[in-house]
Amino acid sequence: MRVGVLALQGDFREHIDVLRRIGVPAIEVRLPKHLEAVDRLIIPGGESTTIGRLLTLYHMVDPLRARAGRDLAVWGTCAGAILLARTVLDAKEGGQPGLGVMDMAVRRNAYGSQLDSFELPIDMPALGDAPLHGVFIRAPQIESLGPLARALGSLPGGAIVAAQQGRMLATTFHPELTGDDRVHRYFLEL
Ligand code: GLN
């Protein structure tokens, strides 16, 4: 298993730290040649428009689309989830470059300015009974899932905050900021 974390922008170091803590060294992926060297990739939180533009600039979009969910397991957190989504609502004017590989629609910055950031418990039965501590930072919302994807985690009110489609995972929150490594371990088993 060779794990990479997309290191173009955003909180990639936090993911690398979690992986190191659980004994899985990860490489920083910035260029196609780094991508070729990994079979798992985390796309971190950050600014989805920036990450998407850099992916385009560095010629990473086509190789990612070709491999995601096949020989490359992929997990997007927050901005990463936006990049994975087939449909992005409230996309940046002038276009939102993305990968469009997961069968879901997400809305950017869905929680408005007052609720830019908040923390809530997340029910994620695949990870056990104990709820996860959900940290949301200008989070997107998963508005709908297509038939290929399924819900994996939700807020107390029922809103979906984690989804899976085979070897692709999306979370709208930030497990890498909490000290709870269950989602990282789950991803490493996909
Ligand atoms: N609001 C950001 C975006 O649209 C995502 C925020 C995050 O990744 N924490 O890309």
- 174 catalytic residue (yes or no): yes
Phi-psi region of 179 (alpha: psi -120 to 50; beta: other; left: phi over 0): left
Taking the C-alpha atoms of residue 151 and residue 113, their distance in angstroms, rounded to an integer, is 26
The predicted model gives 109-132 an average pLDDT of 89
Sign for the CA dihedral angle at 120, 123, 129, 133 comes to: negative
Ligand 1 centroid vs 12 CA: distance in angstroms? 13
Domain locations along the chain: 3-188
- 176 catalytic residue (yes or no): yes
Note the pTM of the prediction, 2 decimals.
0.96
CB of 76 sitting under 6 A from ligand 1? no
CA-nearest residue for atom 5, ligand 1, is 79
| H/E stretch holding 58 | none
Ligand 1 centroid vs 137 CA: distance in angstroms? 7
Taking the C-alpha atoms of residue 186 and residue 190, their distance in angstroms, rounded to an integer, is 7
pLDDT of res. 167: 98
Here the tokens at position 143 are 């508005």
pLDDT of res. 115: 66
Q: What homologous superfamily does CATH list for 3-188?
A: Class I glutamine amidotransferase (GATase) domain (3.40.50.880)
pLDDT of res. 92: 73
The predicted model gives 96-124 an average pLDDT of 89
Catalytic residue among 14, 15, 34, 78: 78
The predicted model gives 150-157 an average pLDDT of 96
pLDDT of res. 16: 98
Confidence tier at 183 by pLDDT (50, 70, 90):
very high
pLDDT of res. 93: 72
pLDDT of res. 111: 85
Residue 56 sits at φ, ψ, to 5 deg, of: -65, -50
pLDDT of res. 96: 75
Catalytic residue among 34, 36, 59, 176: 176
pLDDT 10s digits, 41-75: 999 999 999 999 999 999 999 999 999 999 999 99
Crossing angle of helices 182-189 and 12-21, in 10° steps, is 80
pLDDT at 105 over 70: yes
Confidence tier at 114 by pLDDT (50, 70, 90):
low
Lowest mean pLDDT among 55-69, 87-101, 123-137: 87-101
